[in-house]
Amino acid sequence: MYDINKIREDFPILLRTVYGKPLIYLDNGATTQKPKCVVDSIVNEYYSVNSNVHRGVHFLSQQATNLHEASRETVRKFINARSTSEIIFTRGTTESINLVASSFTDAFMKEGDEVIISVMEHHSNIVSWQLQAEKKGIVLKVIPMNDKGELLLDEYEKLFTDKTRLVSVAHVSNVLGTINPVKRIIETAHAHGAYALIDGAQSIPHMKVDVQELDADFYVFSAHKIYGPTGIGVLYGKEELLEKLPPYQGGGEMIQNVSFEKTTFNELPFKFEAGTPDYIGTTAFACALDYVSAIGMDNIAAHEHELIVYATQRLKEIPGMRIFGEAENKGGVISFLVGDIHHFDMGTLLDRLGIAVRTGHHCAEPLMHRLGIEGTVRATFGLYTTREEIDALLSGIDRVRKMF
């Protein structure tokens, strides 16, 4: 049984008020709230274990190292990677994409080579490639979508040439909620001799992900979007591929031997983890993964699916409602505009009612251009979101609509 009341008790922040109203937090796509076990893990490790990892012979350092490496194993299991060598800890999705963009381009791409992205990408999966395009003259191609917000797979196929090296797309759109058919997208990339990177920032909190089943070459995500701490993320990469990529940053941890003449690099995953890692964060991250695993990713997905169906149906009853993203296969994101009310006005007035939603372009300006708008209001759901909160959102929107 999905005991939503019990789940909500694990998140103290959900009890607070804003402007004297109960908080209704519908900005989970930006970041999720943290259960007590995650915050306790941070406090407990600082109070009782804290010591730098990997370098010490002393007790605390070894204990901290064990916790840090056990967290890597928790992540491995969570996404069903073959080995912990394939789990690189980064600062988040953004850093993971930048790492691949930089190292993959260095290893595999020359001027004129091509990367395929999609029209619904977050800026982190656009600009990281543009930076490489400027440095190395690589070319970006873009998969278009239909008006429902579904990628056009026939058009996708047509983008391939003998210069295509990599396809990099979001698993779930942070604006439209579209769940992209990434298994098929990856298969097509492989059939054309290209690799595939999947941006899992918006999928990992909401569904079971199996990187081997998907056959993804790279899969990236952030801890803070799946109830873990900020400042931690993951780059999963197939071992044989990561072996071929040069390091992204230089420093401690990532070396084997250093002399002024020549440096040799550490083995995976440490080759890509220069400097002191956020080992306190990785332990807390593992707590978050254990927490969602105990509830069950399938149960979370089913709960959120029920909410999205209910919310979509009720939102459509509001006069002047325009929903952006009506894909057949859609996750817990609803972007909308009502009449000609500016998204910023809607967001500000909902906030006064205690309802936290996001407004603007959601770091996806090219998608806004495709939709012919400047921005949307975006409500995103989490494992603790209730039907009552959606009802409050609906009556809030209606109240704002009547004011205009």
* Cis before 269 (ω within 30): yes
CB nearer to ligand PMP: pick between 105 and 222:
222
CA angle 336, 175, 19 (to 5 degrees): 60
Q: Of 49, 241, 274, 363, which residue is the catalytic one?
A: 363
CB nearer to ligand PMP: pick between 382 and 396:
382
Helices 297-315, 387-403: axis angle to 10 degrees equals 30
Q: Which residues on neighbouring strands pair with residue 337, listed in sequence order?
A: 322
Decide the pairing of beta strands 355-356 and 263-265: unpaired
CB nearer to ligand PMP: pick between 35 and 92:
92
CB nearer to ligand PMP: pick between 125 and 266:
125
Structure tokens at 264: 């040799």
Q: Considering only CA atoms, which of 247, 250, 249 is closest in space to residue 267?
A: 247
Minimal distance in Å, beta carbon 29 to ligand PMP?
6
Helices 59-79, 279-295: axis angle to 10 degrees equals 40
Tokens 């040799």 belong to 264
CB nearer to ligand PMP: pick between 140 and 363:
363
Quick check: is 37 catalytic?
no
Q: Return left, alpha or beta for 58; rule: phi > 0 is left, psi -120 to 50 is alpha, else beta.
A: beta
The answer to whether 128 touches 105, Cβ cutoff 8 Å, is: no
Minimal distance in Å, beta carbon 97 to ligand PMP?
7
Minimal distance in Å, beta carbon 317 to ligand PMP?
28
List contacts with ligand PMP (CB under 6 A): 92-94, 122, 124, 170, 174, 199, 201-202, 222, 363
Q: Considering only CA atoms, which of 169, 70, 188, 166 is closest in space to residue 120?
A: 169
Report the catalytic residues: 363
